[in-house]
Amino acid sequence: MKRGLSWRQSALIAGLGVLVLLTLLPLFMTLVTSQKSNAEIHSSFWSLPRQIHGAYYADAWQFIWRYILNSLIVGAVAVAGTVLLSSLSGYVFARLEFGGKRLLFVLILSLMMVPGVLTLVPGFLWYKEFPFVGGNNWLGVGGHGFLDTRWVLIIPLVTGGQVMGIFLCRTFFESIPKPLFEAARIDGAGELRAYWHVALPLSLPILATVAIMQFVGAYNSYIWPLVTVSRSELQVFAVGVTKFGMEGNLEYGPVMAGYVVGSLPLVAVFAFGMKYYVEGLTKGGLKA
């Protein structure tokens, strides 16, 4: 009986090992290929690189740093805005009793039913024809609105991100024992101070979840920056990386190196906050 079990366990491990191998092989080969010349890729695809081409990473960095920086800027501002608004409004919905609360909350939740395909086209034109911005008059004619600015990337991230954020924060704040807030109130603190001094410090884990979900979302977004930003000085990584290797004589090595370099921000984020992201994924699943 015992032997049979261990046989089954080793088969299990072997099976899972194959699956892991298949899952990770493309990533591993990307790393390997980032150190090979075209001729080497062609002649000995599966072998390890014969020599280390540090220059490939230098080339890649040269091309890609601007896009990564832009993604980081957009991501950071969007995260800050989202965290602030989510926690503030989440706090209001969790802790304050007021007329119209249910209606407003349902209005926010109903936005989860609005798919991106419905708003992509009208959203694009609305940002373009936004009144009084980017040379537009009050009817939105004459200029380019928010297009080709960082705002066109940041605003929708904050606007959309807070919906999920409010939902997560509300649930979290509701779980904080009431006496904590009542103590603050007895001390004479207003709602804003209770939020700032009591709620925020307690809610760091859920805010980390919101922040990481938001950052990963921002870093991965592609279609929206593609259609709204045309100046390459402002373009983000996801769009910029697709242009790599399109120009000039194509060596695959530096392109792969660019993929690796571009993944580093997410590696850093997950190294620090995998736990929070996983939590966000599973909780966020309630979305539907």
Q: How many CB atoms lie within 10 A of CB 12?
A: 10
> Which is closer to other proteins, CB of 112 or CB of 183?
112
Among residues 50, 101, 193, 197, the one that binds other proteins under rule CB under 8 A:
101
Among residues 7, 197, 250, 275, the one that binds other proteins under rule CB under 8 A:
250
Is residue 31 within the footprint of other proteins (CB under 8 A)? Answer: no
Instruction: Determine the 3-state secondary structure of 268 from DSSP.
Output: helix
Is residue 206 within the footprint of other proteins (CB under 8 A)? Answer: no
Is residue 183 within the footprint of other proteins (CB under 8 A)? Answer: no
| CB of residue 168 to other proteins, shortest distance in Å | 14
Is residue 85 within the footprint of other proteins (CB under 8 A)? Answer: yes
Q: Which of residues 106-125 bind other proteins (CB under 8 A)?
A: 107-108, 111, 113-125
State the Cα torsion 234-235-236-238 to the nearest 10°. 180
Picking from 264, 271, 249, the residue whose alpha carbon sits closest to that of residue 38 is 249
Is residue 16 within the footprint of other proteins (CB under 8 A)? Answer: yes
Instruction: Determine the 3-state secondary structure of 250 from DSSP.
Output: coil
Among residues 54, 182, 242, 272, the one that binds other proteins under rule CB under 8 A:
242
Is residue 29 within the footprint of other proteins (CB under 8 A)? Answer: yes
Distance CA 202, CA 258 (A): 39
Among residues 54, 58, 69, 126, the one that binds other proteins under rule CB under 8 A:
126
Assigned token pair, 158: 């904050």
Distance CA 99, CA 64 (A): 51
| CB of residue 41 to other proteins, shortest distance in Å | 6
Contact 105, 93 (CB under 8 A): yes
Residue type, 108: I
Q: Which of residues 264-283 bind other proteins (CB under 8 A)?
A: 266-267, 270, 274, 277-278, 281-282
Among residues 3, 51, 188, 233, the one that binds other proteins under rule CB under 8 A:
233
| Exposed / middle / buried, residue 4 (Cβ in 10 Å: 0-12, 13-18, 19+) | exposed
